[in-house]
Amino acid sequence: MANLADAVNLVETEQTARHRRPLRINWLALAMILPSIIALLLIGLYPLLFALSLSFQRFLLNRPQNNGLFVGFENYATVLNDPLFWSSLGRTLTMLLIVLIVQIVAGIGIAVLIDSSRWRAVNWTVKTALVIPIAMTPAVVGLLGLLIFNRDFGLMNYLLGLIGIEKVNWLGDPTMAMVAIILTDIWQWTPFAALIMLSSLAIVPHDMVEAAKLDTKNSWTIFRYVKLPYLMPGITAFMIIRTADVLKLFDMPFTLTRGGPGVSTELISLYVQRMGFRIFDMGVASAQAVLLLILCIILARAYIHFFYRTPESE
């Protein structure tokens, strides 16, 4: 007992001395991370604060003499009463819902097929091929979409012609133009979903799967109660990333359709760009951007609340 008391006193003495020790700043480490902090502030924080300040001002690029006038929440009221804003936001959210469902389901399917395959060469080839669409810039993907969905010599109409379907005016019809954008986005980002799901499947304990196979031969039951809990964190992360990506998606639809025909494919990011650089009202455009940021944060929190589950919580 005496030895135990002496050991406790020694630990308490060391902890007290450690707390009383003066704080030392590692200046070398601080100097090494300082450029990154400065870059983060200049590239990330400053534009956000600048856009936030513009959202409370009257700022017209074609009438600079009145710029800087504080108007309070007038720009936000203009945005909330703008039917074009709501229609473009509705198109964006509709696209978001469709691509999330398709990409998650297809990504899980591809990941399960790769994970269950025993052909290492095939797995390596498929994984490499999955990276190619992700590595392509959105503008290049939009240009590829122009070739694929061209009415006269596009690949899509060629494939449809092989099964006897007449040519579709993909980019000239309002509905089909939106379908073309959705299909292009699904083609580019489904591999990203597959890679995330594949990495999640890699952490599923093998002995747990083998034990489940002793209880049931039903593959769906094993997937639902053994593998799916390990996929939920990856699914949640994918939903958050893709939601932010779709809400700011500009390059691909602008290159593919430029928001047309008419405004049928004008997503919210294209409308914000048109408001700021064609109508020249940077105050209203900044208010739209701030509202989109708030919406993105709300959706991210909702995803975490309703979908994020750890295997231990199941």
Q: What is the pLDDT along the chain (314 residues), one digit of tens a residue?
A: 445 455 445 545 555 555 555 557 778 888 888 888 898 888 888 888 999 999 999 988 888 877 888 898 999 999 999 999 999 999 999 999 999 999 999 999 999 988 888 787 778 888 888 889 999 999 999 999 999 999 988 899 999 889 988 989 999 999 999 999 999 999 999 999 999 999 999 888 888 888 888 888 888 888 888 889 899 999 999 999 999 999 999 999 999 999 989 899 999 999 999 999 998 999 999 999 999 999 999 999 999 998 887 766 65
Which residue ranges make up each domain of the chain?
82-313
Residue 311 tokens, joined:
């295997």
Helix 83-116 vs helix 268-277: angle between axes, to the nearest 10 degrees? Answer: 140
Strand partners, 58: 69
The secondary structure element, H or E, covering residue 305 is helix 282-307
Query: Cβ of 158: how many Cβ atoms within 10 Å?
Result: 12
What's the number of CA atoms in the CB half-sphere (13 Å) around residue 37?
6
Q: What is the pTM of this model?
A: 0.85
Q: How many Å apart are CA 264 and CA 47, to the nearest integer?
A: 30
The topology (CATH level 3) of 82-313 is: MetI-like fold (1.10.3720)
Quick one: which H or E segment has residue 58? strand 57-58
- Smallest CA-to-CA distance from 131 within 202, 192, 200, 199 is with 192
Tokens of 30: 């601080």
DSSP 181-223: HHHHHHHHHHHHHHHHHHHHHTTS-HHHHHHHHHH---HHHHI
